[in-house]
Amino acid sequence: MVKLIKTKKSGKLLAKNCGAACLVFFLALALAACGISPAERDFFAMDTYIEIQAYGKNAEGFLTEANTETIRLENLLSAHSEKSELNALNSGKTPNSPELLNLAGEAVSLADLTGGAFDPTVLPLVELWGFGDEMRVPKQSEIDAALETVGYGKLRSDGNKITLNGTRLDLGGIAKGYAADRFGLLAAQHGVDSAFASFGGMVAAVGQKPGGKPWRVGVKDPRSDGLAAVLEVRDTCVSTSGGYERYFTHEGKIYHHILDPKTGYPAESDLLSATVVDPSGTRADALSTALYVMGKDRAIEFCKENQICAILITENELIPLSGADRLISEISQSYELIKE
């Protein structure tokens, strides 16, 4: 466990160990202090352990629907399931639902915004490296062949229709973010104004905690089981991407699941993780992946240019950007806080 120091804001440090897959997580202990227990559910979907909770009289009904909705989204958006609608789209079947077309269109816009650091056409590469299944190091010739069919520039999307032009879509980089957005929308429909969801490295914080305090979200220390920082947020989403989340080792080298769409290899990033805070979970999810691919210098420039609220973590630095410093309540002593 790393040592954390408090920033000028008050608040007792609350930390717990979490599994390797858990990048951002909710610090629930504070709630015990106010004596109100939330309604809670946990389940496995989208290849991750999901925890949802809510307060108020409609909480139970809302959580039941949010659980069902997450499973529906998994069945809609998984590129690796033969039954998903995304798979049908990738196999050339039309028509496709407006929901899938909208999300695919949003993925293309985010690819455009990030100059292809986030690229939803990486599926042939993901399959080659076996991140949905058995992981292995492909031959260079296989990577070259896969790269021929990768590139969001080949896609044409007008909102009503998407033309793949030989590519195949992987929405794994935004599926959890979209699920976080749906969680927020469903909460509003059920009249729930205080709720929280953790989809592995993706968090949705609806409203604030009962009693008016912000939600506390831990950003995992990429080098240990502890926390690198604690954020205090309201009504927003927080997404973290890091190469340590899903990886395998071959001949002493680590190969992780965030790919550089230009090289076809796992991104050689000097970042250990990138966290994005944004009211849109879909955007936060894509941008955290993109920042990680970009690496420190490009990510800093990109966040400043586009006012992306982010926290970048390198081997020994923690770099908050575009107002993220105001959300940090605690920082691990193992990192130097860099003010950009």
Judged by the rule CB under 6 A, the positions of this chain that interact with ligand ADP are 118-120, 122, 126, 131, 170, 172-173, 176, 200-201, 241, 245-246, 257-259, 261, 285, 289, 293
DSSP 324: G
Distance in angstroms (rounded) separating the CA atoms of residues 54 and 40: 7
Which residue, 184 or 201, has its beta carbon nearer to ligand ADP? 201
Q: Binding Mg ion by CB under 5 A: which of 120, 173, 242, 266?
A: 173
Which residue, 226 or 281, has its beta carbon nearer to Mg ion? 281
CA angle 237–242–248, rounded 5-degree value: 140
CB of 47 to ligand ADP, least distance (A): 7
**Binding partner of residue 172 among Mg ion, ligand ADP, none, CB under 5 to 8 Å per kind?**
ligand ADP
Strands 194-199 and 202-207: antiparallel
Which residue, 15 or 202, has its beta carbon nearer to Mg ion? 202
Distance in angstroms (rounded) separating the CA atoms of residues 63 and 137: 41
CB of 211 to ligand ADP, least distance (A): 31
CA angle 84–85–89, rounded 5-degree value: 120
Query: DSSP secondary structure string, 97-135?
Result: -HHHHHHHHHHHHHHHHTTTSS-TT-HHHHHHHTTTSS-
**Binding partner of residue 52 among ligand ADP, Mg ion, none, CB under 5 to 8 Å per kind?**
none
Strands 202-207 and 236-242: antiparallel
| Number of chain residues interacting with Mg ion (CB under 5 A) | 5
Strands 336-337 and 317-321: parallel
DSSP 34: H
Which residue, 194 or 273, has its beta carbon nearer to ligand ADP? 273
Helices (H) and strands (E) in the chain, counts: 9, 18
Which residue, 20 or 185, has its beta carbon nearer to ligand ADP? 20
Strands 227-233 and 253-256: unpaired
CB of 325 to ligand ADP, least distance (A): 23
CB of 182 to ligand ADP, least distance (A): 16
Task: Tell which positions 273-292 bind Mg ion, by CB under 5 A.
Answer: 285, 288-289
CB of 279 to ligand ADP, least distance (A): 17
CB of 274 to Mg ion, least distance (A): 9
**Binding partner of residue 181 among Mg ion, ligand ADP, none, CB under 5 to 8 Å per kind?**
none
Strands annotated E in 201-316: 202-207, 215-220, 227-233, 236-242, 247-250, 253-256, 273-278, 310-313
The yes or no reply on residue 194 touching Mg ion (CB under 5 A) is no
Which residue, 91 or 333, has its beta carbon nearer to ligand ADP? 91
CB of 234 to ligand ADP, least distance (A): 23
**Binding partner of residue 120 among Mg ion, ligand ADP, none, CB under 5 to 8 Å per kind?**
ligand ADP
Task: Tell which positions 244-263 bind Mg ion, by CB under 5 A.
Answer: none
